[in-house]
Chains A and B, each alone.
Chain A
């Protein structure tokens, strides 16, 4: 069980993004709330090869601001690979030599999939705040439709970190036979007051920006850039640990000892936050930020006592992971998920991984973390193959 050092050969290489209209006409998307979206487009990418028995698929659910570009590069000279390139690729924990990997942009997003910034076909104008409120279950509905489109009935596993972990969990609870197994990383099944408070301030910062224009900024040609970048800057603080930030920036000055002091970017950490706030504007939409953070606030899949009954009956194993310095969703969140699953007799494994990098750890290469995900998936694949062989024998 060795982990290979990262190199060019570990990449899935040049990848292509696709977009498909999954709901339209007499097949609209009916949300868990009962609201209806007449048209839904979904952006997705796939890596690796679907095997002949079509049972080696692993679905990737992204976090709040992720997208369908999870691994590889779109062009050779792309500055950065997909957001989870550390995890997905040949020889990596989600090994594209063995698994067929599917990643999409979730409903309500802004990177190829229909969201509140998309055009409402009934009015010809952007939805804005007329877009219906969403639930994690709605993301799962759309993921499942994408699977149907790809002709994949069953997954080997569904894997996600942070809000992606919430989707893994919801999917496993609702359709345990389909998912085979679930990996739930640095997630929560119930946000606490502090979590909601951070999201609330982020949303306020967007909505109070005059550029937000009551959600009609796309029509009036303004843009709540200040609000969105402040939301992003604040979120970035919650994604890192105190020690991690100290290690990365300390009290370093951005422009040296002798630079003039004022209220601009004096410290390195300020420069970092400023940069993160700025680059976010080019890739993310303020309305999506509102809608997607709100989805997390209301997520409470264990509100019903026997929420995991179907999952327990199916016996699909779950792996829950947390990071010891994560304070966005600290280990108590993961332990709460584990307690619920274990109590209801779901085969669940849990580890708290040591890492100095806080919530962001789930995106980074941490040996113990990667080895655990790799071992879990390998075992699931092994058991699936054994079950297939047994079923094959029974058929004969």
Chain B
């Protein structure tokens, strides 16, 4: 089972045996991997019928629901880790989704494309909406309706009470890079955030490996 490069990075921040909620789990590969290799339990959430079916076929518990409206299904602090992998930019109300995640999880992992990436800025400077490997859709039919720069996103994390515990930056093809902090919003094409809800921060979130 092969994971996307960003999914591989995500798995590094999921402790063994933890209870995981994967929001927008797609075909369930990440959850299956975490269940098989890491002894995790949990639930995938997906709304696309074929992806939901594939997830069930993999033996991953799958709850079909709309992330924008129905996350109240899940109880407070009912999961150790809540993952939102390349989904936030496609939600209608990112702020509400992040608020729900902060309520449900003891740790949240959010993976996003960075709209502030220099190539996007350059294309915009030339008068066009950016299209790239991360953002392959034309502006008029993209599902990515809430793109943000890393700086904007970090402001929102603060507003909803999520503290950034770790940030992993990467190139367009997902290779990890340690860009200097002040250049991150320009240089990184993608970012993965490991977040802890402010009201329930554990003494040390700890990491795997």
A contact residues vs B (CB 8 Å cutoff): 1, 317, 319, 335, 338-339, 342-343, 345, 347-352, 368, 371-372, 375-376, 378-380, 382-383
Contact = CB atoms under 8 A, between A and B. Distances in A.
A372 B62 CA distance: 11
B57 to A, nearest CB: 4
Interface string B60-104: 011111000000011100100000000000000000000000000
A319 to B, nearest CB: 7
Contacts of A352: 64
Given A338-B73, A342-B43, A342-B74, A379 B56 contact: yes
Interface of B: 19, 41, 43, 49, 52-53, 55-59, 61-65, 73-75, 78
A372 B56 CA distance: 7
B88 to A, nearest CB: 23
Interface residues of chain B: helix, strand, loop or mixed (majority): mixed
Nearest to A315: B41
Contacts of A383: 59
A347 B58 CA distance: 13
Q: Which of A1, A351, A352 has the most CB of B within 10 A?
A: A351
B61 A368 contact: no
B101 to A, nearest CB: 16
Contacts of B49: 351, 368
A342 B63 contact: yes
A350 B62 contact: yes
Nearest to B70: A335
B53 A348 contact: no
Given A342-B74, A343-B75, A343-B78, A351 B58 contact: no
Contacts of B56: 319, 349, 351, 372, 375-376, 379
Given A335-B73, A338-B73, A342-B43, A347 B57 contact: no
A37 to B, nearest CB: 38
A349 B61 CA distance: 5
Given A342-B73, A379-B59, A372 B43 contact: no
B73 A339 contact: yes
Contacts of B73: 335, 338-339, 342
Nearest to B73: A339
Contacts of A350: 62-65
B174 to A, nearest CB: 30
A332 to B, nearest CB: 11
Nearest to B45: A350
A385 to B, nearest CB: 12
B134 to A, nearest CB: 30
Nearest to A373: B56
A206 B175 CA distance: 72
Contacts of B63: 338, 342, 348-350
Contacts, number: 55
B61 A348 contact: yes
B150 to A, nearest CB: 33
Given A350-B62, A350-B63, A371 B41 contact: no
B54 to A, nearest CB: 8
A351 B62 CA distance: 8
Q: What 7 A-B pairs come out closest when comparing CB atoms?
A: A375-B57, A347-B61, A379-B59, A351-B64, A349-B62, A350-B63, A349-B56
A348 B65 CA distance: 13
A287 B146 CA distance: 59
Contacts of B75: 343
A317 B61 contact: yes
Contact of A345 (B41, B55, B65): B41
A378 B58 CA distance: 10
Contacts of B43: 342, 348
Contact of A351 (B19, B52, B57, B78): B52
Contacts of B74: 342
A176 B41 CA distance: 18
Contacts of B55: 349
8 contacts: A342-B43, A342-B63, A348-B43, A350-B62, A351-B52, A368-B49, A371-B53, A379-B57
Given A317-B61, A349-B61, 10 more contacts: A319-B56, A343-B78, A347-B41, A350-B62, A350-B64, A350-B65, A351-B49, A379-B56, A379-B59, A383-B59
A342 B41 CA distance: 12
Contacts of A345: 19, 41
Nearest to B21: A342
Contacts of A371: 53
A338 B65 CA distance: 11
Contacts of A343: 75, 78
A342 B56 CA distance: 15
Nearest to A312: B41
A308 to B, nearest CB: 13
A372 B74 CA distance: 23
A209 B87 CA distance: 59
Nearest to B58: A379
A344 B55 CA distance: 21
A380 B56 CA distance: 10
B164 to A, nearest CB: 29
